[in-house]
């Protein structure tokens, strides 16, 4: 099951906005969802996503290497978001039902 703090989903969502280097990804995630990814977690996820063909590295800009999401990465992100929405909808319905019976 995917949660809103799943680093893979967070990185893909950040890159869906446009290419970013590692620090920019970390900053974007921290600012938008208040989740801090450590460097080991971030670069482990980037390596895995690149190996899976979900992101690609662009030519380095000095010491920084930007990444961008691929079409396959966009499809995976869209499916993960749909799954998260289904889970959230289920939880909200059940919370509403529990509140109605209280």
Strand partners, 55: 69
Please state the domain extents for the chain. Answer: 7-101
More confidently predicted of 47 and 61? 47
- CATH code for the part of the protein at 7-101: 1.10.10.10
Contact 25, 67 (CB under 8 A): yes
Q: What is the C-alpha to C-alpha distance for residues 45 and 31, in angstroms, rounded to an integer?
A: 19
Does 96 score more than 60 pLDDT? yes
Phi, psi dihedrals of residue 70, rounded to the nearest 5°: -95, 175
Share of the chain above pLDDT 90, in %: 87
Each residue of 2-46: pLDDT tens digit?
Answer: 454 599 999 999 999 999 999 999 999 999 999 999 999 999 999
């Amino acid at each position: 099951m995917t949660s809103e703090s799943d680093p893979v989903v967070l990185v893909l969502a950040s890159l869906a906005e446009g290419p970013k280097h590692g620090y920019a990804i970390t900053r974007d995630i921290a600012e938008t969802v208040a989740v801090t990814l450590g460097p080991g977690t971030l670069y482990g996820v980037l390596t895995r996503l690149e190996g899976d063909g979900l992101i690609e590295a662009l030519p380095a800009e000095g010491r920084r290497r930007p990444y961008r999401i691929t079409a396959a990465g966009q499809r995976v992100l869209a499916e993960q978001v749909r799954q998260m929405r289904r889970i959230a909808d289920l939880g909200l319905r059940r919370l509403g039902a529990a509140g109605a019976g209280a």
